[in-house]
Amino acid sequence: MFLKNFKKLFAEEDGQGSVELILIIGGIIVIVLVCMFVYKSYVNDLGKELESGELNSLNKSFEDISAKFE
């Protein structure tokens, strides 16, 4: 009886679509996490660049240019 139920378990394909979708979503999550780990230093440096004065000077340059067109 146990062997019959065991074979029946592997013969059913009702949840196949759901399992495939879960595996695809899981794969995408793994790829995103690996990419974030690889580009971790780049993302950290990007935050430091935004805090620097270069962004402020660029913004002031845009304001000066826009003032000339008013």
Report how far Cα 28 is from the mean position of its chain's Cα atoms. 8
Helix, strand, or coil (residue 69): coil
Greater confidence (68 vs 4) lies with 68
Contact, 56 vs 49, CB < 8 A? no
Structural contact between residues 43 and 49, judged by C-beta atoms closer than 8 angstroms:
no
Q: What is the pLDDT of residue 2?
A: 66
Render pLDDT for 10-68 as a digit per residue (tens, 0 to 9): 666 677 788 889 999 999 999 999 888 888 777 677 666 666 677 778 788 888 888 88
Distance of alpha carbon 40 from the chain centroid = 13
How many whole angstroms separate alpha carbon 4 and alpha carbon 63? 78
* pTM for the structure as a whole: 0.46
